[in-house]
Structure 1
Amino acid sequence: MTPEAFRDAFALGLEGLAGLPLGVARPRYDRLCQAFAPPLPAGMIVEDGTIGGVAVRRLRPPGARPGEVAYVHGGGWTLGSVTSHQGIAASLAAHLKREVVSVDYRLAPEASYADALADCRSVIRALAPRAAVGDSAGGRLVMDVSHTLGAPGVLGLIYPLVGRPDPASLGPDAPLLSRAEVLTLWAEVAETMPSVPEAAPPGRQLEVLAVAQDPLTAPLERALGRWRRFGCDIGYRCVPGLWHGALHAHARLPAMQEAWQVFCAALTDRLA
């Protein structure tokens, strides 16, 4: 698949969600993301359950090493689930050779950001994972869990939203995620965001993956510079020519596949 084919197909799917009730849009979003996901790796065991009263999905590869990894999905805090992001979580489990526990946190607007954060905190507190990984909105949740609960070992962040976005801080508009969309989503959750020290890193060891065509990348890179000055150990990769959400198609986009493999290998080394 060419990057442009992915961009156009994913954009068409997102456009089809516009104006739909959330009860209809959410399962359609799940199917859209699943359409780009690779098949489950051979021997992967998938089990649904609860931890700390929060729904989770466990993905366990054959011969899993000891120590779980928590995963928190994206979707702008209003969409997304353990189903929409199963392809990413399963690939993460296969690469790390560890059980990945994907958190099915509550979504807005039925729940507040504080509720979603409480769900993630409950799971991570009970699980005590070796690492926590989150993409997009899930990356922000992982950072806020770490700020308010303490870093769960290594953090893996995939095009996360950092700081408090405004028109001056965001990068240029891009397909699949516009500046206006970021600001709208932020306005819906900002009221119950925790107060955290924005200049301080969310953990001591970070692996970060971003894409060049994304308004979240510019503020992320500025934050990484600040966090390094605090002594944070950061591995960072930015994939040229791709857009927010491209991780769903990592198995079909060579540049994303290569960056994802390097990201996972770096996490594996840190966990070793």
Structure 2
Amino acid sequence: MRIEDFIHQFSLSEADPEAPVTTKRREYEALHALRRPADPAGMRVSDERLAAVKVRRFQPARCRSGVVVYLHGGGWYLGSVDSHHGITADLAERLQREVVSVDYRLLPEASYAEALADCRAVVETTAPVAVIGDSAGGRLAIDVAHGGEWQGLLGLIYPVVGTPTAETLGEDAPLLSRADVLSLWRMAAPHVPAIPGGHPPRPAIEALAVERDPLTRPLEAAVEAWRHAGALVGYRCAPGMVHSALHGHAELAPMQIAWQDFCQAIARRLEDA
């Protein structure tokens, strides 16, 4: 698949920007349901509650010890264990470990603090060997790592780091503009922990970015600062790819390569630990 075709298929630009959030969520879920691949052979999937939080558990046919918690993206107001099912099932298969995907509460019905509390509750209950998050979920993963006693590997996929501003963000890109980021940040910011972006959230971090994304520039600045502070940070950037391209990792060659490298790096770190 060409990246231009992916952008066309995943663009929500035709949706009414004034549409109710329930309509936007329905369209978002339908968009991802159309492309959800079949689960890997032998994968066991179950929905339940952990610490009163909805989760979906993915257990591959061959499952090693050590749980991985996944926090989905969606701007803190979209997304679910359903929209990211294909990603989390593939992650579990690649790592050969159980992945617990967290269906945290969404804005605006809940606050960022409540979404973060859901994520922390699941992490505290499962004591995972790794916490991985993409986009808005990447920021939740950072704040989980900063604010609790959890010790493990942190995986970040085009996350929101630091305090996004017009000065720190990169250029506009398809599927995510600077205005989008700033608007979503204003919605979440009152309840986001005030932690400097240059302070490493964990000593061991693996990060994945895409070339065409306003969030890549601040992430790269953070990676440099984290390394300077002594953290061991692995980093890769998928050339030509855009925000949300992780959903096309099976069809977009550059994203497939970067995703495979990210997962292999996570697996090596967990084995070494």
Common fold by TM > 0.5: yes
1:204 counterpart residue number: 203
Deviating 4+ runs (over 6 angstroms): none
Instruction: State the superposition RMSD in angstroms.
Output: 1.1
Residues 9-88 of structure 1: pairs in structure 2 closer than 5 A: 9-11=9-11, 13=12, 15-16=14-15, 18-88=17-87
CA contact (8 A) 1:48 1:58 kept: yes
Change over 3 Å in CA distance of 1:136–1:17 after alignment to 2: farther
Change over 3 Å in CA distance of 1:104–1:152 after alignment to 2: farther
CA contact (8 A) 2:162 2:195 kept: no
Q: Which amino acid in the other structure matches residue 92 of structure 1?
A: L
Q: For each residue in 1:59-79, what CA deviation from the matched residue of structure 2 results, as whole angstroms up to 9, or x when unmatched?
A: 110021011100000000000
Distance 1:154 1:173 in 2: 31
Instruction: State the SS of the aligned residue for 2:94.
Output: helix
CA drift at 1:28: 1.9
2:262 counterpart residue number: 263
Q: Which amino acid in the other structure matches residue 15 of structure 2?
A: G
Distance 2:39 2:18 in 1: 32
CA drift at 1:42: 1.1
Deviates more, 1:188-197 or 1:66-75: 188-197
CA contact (8 A) 2:39 2:89 kept: yes
Which segments of 5 or more consecutive residues in structure 1 lack a partner in the other structure? none
1:8 counterpart residue number: 8
2:229 counterpart residue number: 230
Instruction: State the SS of the aligned residue for 2:107.
Output: coil
Q: Which amino acid in the other structure matches residue 49 of structure 1?
A: E
Q: Which amino acid in the other structure matches residue 5 of structure 2?
A: A
CA drift at 1:225: 0.5
Distance 2:148 2:56 in 1: 22
Distance 1:113 1:63 in 2: 36
Distance 1:71 1:152 in 2: 15
CA contact (8 A) 1:199 1:226 kept: yes
CA drift at 1:119: 0.3
Deviates more, 1:37-46 or 1:61-70: 37-46
CA contact (8 A) 1:67 1:98 kept: yes
CA drift at 1:253: 0.7
Provide the identity percentage: 54
Distance 2:192 2:119 in 1: 14
1:179 counterpart residue number: 178
Deviates more, 1:31-40 or 1:49-58: 31-40
Change over 3 Å in CA distance of 1:196–1:39 after alignment to 2: same
Instruction: State the SS of the aligned residue for 1:240.
Output: strand
CA contact (8 A) 2:72 2:134 kept: yes
Distance 2:13 2:78 in 1: 11
CA drift at 1:132: 0.4
- TM norm structure 1: 0.97
Deviates more, 1:145-154 or 1:220-229: 145-154
Change over 3 Å in CA distance of 1:130–1:173 after alignment to 2: same
Which segments of 5 or more consecutive residues in structure 2 lack a partner in the other structure? none
Q: Which amino acid in the other structure matches residue 6 of structure 1?
A: F
